Chains A and B, each alone.
Chain A
Amino acid sequence: MLLIETFRVALQSIWTNKMRSSLTILGLVIGILSVVVITTLGNAAQADMTGAFDKYGKGKLNVGFNYNTERPILYRDYFSDEDITAVEKMEADVVAVSPQLRNWMKIKHGNTEMSINMTGVNHHYDQVETIELIRGRFLTEEDVLGRRNVMVIDEKTARNLFGSIDCIGEIATLTTGWYTVELMIIGVDKLSDSAILNMANGDYSYGFMPVTLATRMSFTDRYPRLMLQAQENLNIDRVGDKILSLLERRDKEKSMYRVNTRENEFNQVSQGIGFLTLTVSGIAAISLLVGGIGIMNIMLVSVTERTREIGVRKAIGAKRATILLQFLVEAIILSIFGGGLGLLLGGTIGYGIVQWLGLPFIVSKKAITMAFLFSTAVGVIFGVYPANKASKLDPIEALRYE
């Protein structure tokens, strides 16, 4: 009964001072808004990463050099075709293997020239990486064994070079050092669906060519990296260990290599995003403190203004706790209004940014609960002092107050 009345009085007091109340909660609105926008972005980025992992990362690993080794990397440390054949035989663990030999080259068509990151791979590469062709086909065994002058390029490069993705059969000139070849476009690869992944991959052009051609252009017959797709539902780290053991049996020094799983890479990025989100929200949360001080300030003004009213209420029989509750409830209502408004605005802004970036929008119940808990806490923490001050007023003096 008294509680309903307490709410009524608090709402009335807030409503009577509309302008002042709005300005009071502004700090809190901005604080909650910033935290909500940041967590919305963080959640969206993480959801994007999770989605990307399922599509682009599951069961994918590669073996490359461990660049912290004591001695320099020698010819014998590189992977040979025999190594690949041996790994391919681990059928229980491995679905497919492809060597990888990467080089920055110049690609030219007509008067357009640009840099391109060309990767020499075999015909299994579309199993060890997610390749989505929107035009043409991927490299075949014949392309690789026959060292054909063919290549697959990404959709952006296709557009830049040929003006459209319909460029199958077109010829482009590739140059690395003084070695120049003319390659025919046989496929166009689609960019990934993950905005984060595309951002992380950078803006550069990429293409795939038969690894046999790549080794020839680099004057080698060995590969610095093996790309693999593990069988489903295996512990990917154990698969990595098995491959290292196999290499050891083939007289390779285990300590020279390092297994990189996509899972680890994704987890690291995901953790990075999580940490960044937390840090930036933490900084934004400081504005909650400022908002809370604003509320305290206005509550103190309100207590002074209503000294007489407090005196009357006490004379009529209000106890200390009743007066305390009345002002505390007012502070809490103010801060919940602020929190709610901040949540609403923050959600809207967050939604806008996430849409613009092409990330998924996640409605986080946790974020909503936290926003309300936080604003209530701010109301309680910063409302207690003024409320306590009000409740301690001496009725005689309060009644005499002008």
Chain B
Amino acid sequence: MITVKDLDKIYENGSIAVQALKNVNLEINKGEFVAITGASGSGKSTFMNIMGCLDRATAGLYILDNETIQDLSDNELAEIRNRKIGFVFQSFNLLPRTSALKNVELPMMYAGIGGKERRERALDALKRVGLEDRVDHKPNELSGGQKQRVAVARALVNNPAIILADEPTGNLDSKSTQEVMGLFKKLNDEGVTIIIVTHEQEIAEETKRIIGFRDGEIILDETMKQGLKENN
């Protein structure tokens, strides 16, 4: 699903060059549930941006779902983000004053899918995250956990290759955190590839594989048969 080879990222800021990623090599297979961890400045956000096709690597190879992400224009990257990646953000980033349904329809809109199919698939996605009774609610009428579930539905709806979640529980209380993590586990059981970027050890331990970054390099790659917590 994801192949990363000898990836480098260097930020040039005037005369100062900062190497954010150093020789990163990684394979993630279909159906995996991965946590990418590290302190701030470790390079995990940079890595996530590149995986999410929001940014380009300076050197190295990145293959996502059999497509080499290299030397692509902004528009081509936008198309790949639309088709292959579902984003979930820490601060939900739902469109304000727009119903849950319309929010979930948005990626399909940019994919050029017709109104009827869009509606059906959006309803279906909302059902998968357990919000079938909240479709017409606007973000300000939803709880934090519900908002994040709408965001997950939006990420799911175009059947992306991966769901990329950036600190998805960072703004949630513990109950909502459980609610959202439970949802990720359920979706992963259904075969969805999920990558969570987090600095919280507890969250990372609920996944099946932890990849740790420090100073732009992978220092840890640990696979568990099952979520660590459940083993306890």
Contacts and interface: CB of A to CB of B under 8 A. Distances in A.
Do A and B come together as binding partners?
yes
Interface of A: 1-2, 5, 12, 16, 308-309, 311-322, 395-396, 399
B78 A312 contact: no
Interface residues of B, number: 27
Given A16-B97, A320-B75, A396-B49, A313 B106 contact: yes
Interface in B68-103: 74-75, 78-79, 81-83, 87, 89, 93, 95-98
A322 B110 contact: yes
Contacts of B95: 309, 312
A213 B106 CA distance: 93
B109 A315 contact: no
B97 A318 contact: no
Nearest to A402: B91
Across the A-B interface, the 3 shortest Cβ-Cβ residue pairs: A317-B82, A317-B110, A312-B93
Contacts of B93: 308, 311-312, 315, 399
B147 interface: no
A175 B159 CA distance: 104
B10 interface: no
Contacts of A399: 54, 89, 93
Q: Which one of B93, B112, B154 has the highest number of Cβ atoms from chain A below 10 Å of its Cβ?
A: B93
B107 A396 contact: no
B55 A2 contact: no
A23 to B, nearest CB: 21
Given A318-B78, A395-B54, A1 B97 contact: no
Contacts of A322: 110
A395 B93 CA distance: 13
B54 A316 contact: no
Q: Which one of B49, B83, B87 has the highest number of Cβ atoms from chain A below 10 Å of its Cβ?
A: B87
A2 B74 CA distance: 19
Contact of B109 (A5, A12, A395): A5
Nearest to A15: B97
B114 A316 contact: no
22 contacts: A1-B112, A1-B115, A2-B110, A308-B93, A309-B95, A309-B96, A313-B106, A313-B110, A316-B82, A316-B110, A317-B78, A317-B79, A317-B81, A317-B82, A317-B107, A317-B111, A318-B110, A319-B75, A319-B78, A320-B75, A396-B54, A399-B93
A115 B75 CA distance: 83
A320 B55 CA distance: 15
Contacts of A2: 109-110, 112
B189 to A, nearest CB: 25
B216 interface: no
B164 to A, nearest CB: 9
Contacts of B79: 317, 319
Contacts of B55: 396
B52 interface: yes
Nearest to B95: A309
Interface in B24-59: 49, 52, 54-55
A299 B106 CA distance: 23
Interface in B161-187: none
Contacts of A321: 75
Nearest to A392: B74
Nearest to A318: B110
Contacts of A316: 81-82, 87, 106-107, 110, 154
A94 B82 CA distance: 85
Contacts of B110: 2, 313, 316-319, 322
Given A312-B93, A316-B87, A1 B52 contact: no
A16 B154 CA distance: 24
A400 B82 CA distance: 20
A356 B98 CA distance: 50
Given A316-B81, A320-B78, A399-B93, 20 more contacts: A2-B112, A12-B97, A12-B98, A16-B97, A309-B96, A313-B106, A313-B110, A315-B52, A315-B54, A316-B106, A316-B110, A317-B79, A317-B110, A319-B78, A319-B110, A320-B74, A321-B75, A395-B54, A396-B49, A396-B54
Contacts of A16: 97
Interface in B122-144: none
Contacts of B96: 309
Contacts of A309: 95-96
Nearest to B94: A312
A319 B111 CA distance: 10
Q: Which one of B78, B87, B89 has the highest number of Cβ atoms from chain A below 10 Å of its Cβ?
A: B78
B132 to A, nearest CB: 22
B171 to A, nearest CB: 13
A114 B68 CA distance: 100
Nearest to A2: B109
Q: Which one of A311, A322, A396 has the highest number of Cβ atoms from chain B below 10 Å of its Cβ?
A: A396
A314 to B, nearest CB: 7
Contacts of B114: 1
Contacts of B75: 319-321
